[in-house]
A and B are shown apart, each in its own frame.
Chain A
């Protein structure tokens, strides 16, 4: 065992001038402004009422208490002036910025979610949790004559395992006699259809939501269901009948969009509550058994390629690294069901746990939610991580740009041989790429080419096993090794590198 002492580098700090958030242009009520690690919302006169409703609605108190709403404060005049002056000064020198608009009527400051994630990176259970939060908010607001004007999972992000509603301008006053929830169609397309497609047709959320920000259409989901299944629940009422009604709706023309009014507010509320109840049933049905078995579930429990002694040595080594370095943010790559992610949370870290299998990510989310552990499980294939998407590829950032340099420590345990077999990149290239996520250290588990698990991974890809032991690393990377441990029974090696 080698042991050397090194000083860890501090994470890089790059101050950025205030500028409009590139994803914030859809809402006519206001725009988000980023300034370093602070996030502001410039609210124009059109959005002031909605912003005040979001801040003051009593029906949202329970959501604020359990931190399901993004923490938001209205800036006092002096602070708002300072922010506005800095923004205008930056905009004057930035020729690419949007032309100056009228000064905002109000400036809000939101607390930033520690790590941005998007619905196409969540396991189904997390999308369902976001859906339930949307419905709970919409239903609670009814008691004050308010409503939600949007119902898209892009209005929600996760802080650890907890969904947080972000869109402060979504709350609006509603007509008490209106029995329709207009965002229902958006809710079906962006929550229920992708979940049905995952459950019944095997389409992952990345396949359905990454390229279709507005979700799937009823026609898509009916076609996916097939000629027989589409006539049975849950497809019959969720997609088949709406598909059949499309042409009829077309004949209605503009009349379809005329406001509908009931004879009493009580009747309208009764209808809306039944609508929310039906949508909740659809969500529950679409996620029953949302964390199914896959080839990777139960991997840690049945890790028969480790002897009991090696397993204990590995746990002790990882625990020691975490205890000594005390990281605040850890990225666990190839996290599986999160044995080591949860270990890092015990040492005080918040963890982003990445795996390409949505079944294990779903199980980890359930465990983290039960234990209130700050773990954010994401479904990302590291050989093809989420790209930047949306308008001008700027609405959602790529996984790599969100992750690089954003973590104190990165763990990639028993992962390199999979990446190597799937990407055919050299082990040195992989290690230097992964180290870009890490501000201070990178913890690797190297597996020898003779290892049966390693050989299986390469056989699956019809590739010849390549050496992954530390002796094959470039000298520049080898010089970064702080400490290593040989797991003698399994022939594996744990290596801690300075980043």
Chain B
């Protein structure tokens, strides 16, 4: 049976997703920016780890390839 989505539910979801909600008083107005920076830093940190792992893998493969071509080995 094909699943259908009620348009009203879809619109409500979109509205709740896209409406910017006001922050409560007594909050640091820069806290959203700080959280955004933390999330961005986590993503960039993950990219760094991925790049490092990728370079290690490349280096290992190159070293392996060079070794196999080395007549002394």
Contacts and interface: CB of A to CB of B under 8 A. Distances in A.
Interface of A: 179-182, 184-186, 188-189, 217-219, 222, 230-231, 237, 240-250, 252, 256-257, 260, 262, 266-267, 270-271, 274-275, 278
Contacts of B31: 246, 249-250, 252, 256
Nearest to A262: B45
Nearest to A179: B41
Nearest to B17: A244
A249 B45 contact: no
Interface residues on B, range: 20 to 34
A260 B33 CA distance: 15
Given A184-B37, A185-B33, A242-B32, A250 B27 contact: yes
B41 A260 contact: yes
A166 to B, nearest CB: 23
B35 A249 contact: yes
Q: Which of A189, A230, A242, A262 lies at the interface centre, i.e. has the most chain B CB atoms within 10 A of its CB?
A: A242
Contacts of B21: 244, 246-247
Nearest to A274: B44
Contacts of A179: 41, 44-45
B23 interface: yes
Contact of B32 (A186, A230, A245, A260): A245
A186 to B, nearest CB: 7
Contacts of B60: none
Interface string B34-65: 11111111001100110000000000000000
Given A246-B29, A249-B27, A266-B48, 17 more contacts: A180-B37, A180-B41, A181-B37, A186-B30, A188-B33, A189-B33, A241-B32, A241-B36, A244-B20, A244-B21, A244-B32, A245-B36, A248-B32, A256-B34, A267-B49, A271-B41, A275-B41
Nearest to A248: B35
Contacts of B18: 231
Given A218-B33, A242-B32, A250 B44 contact: no
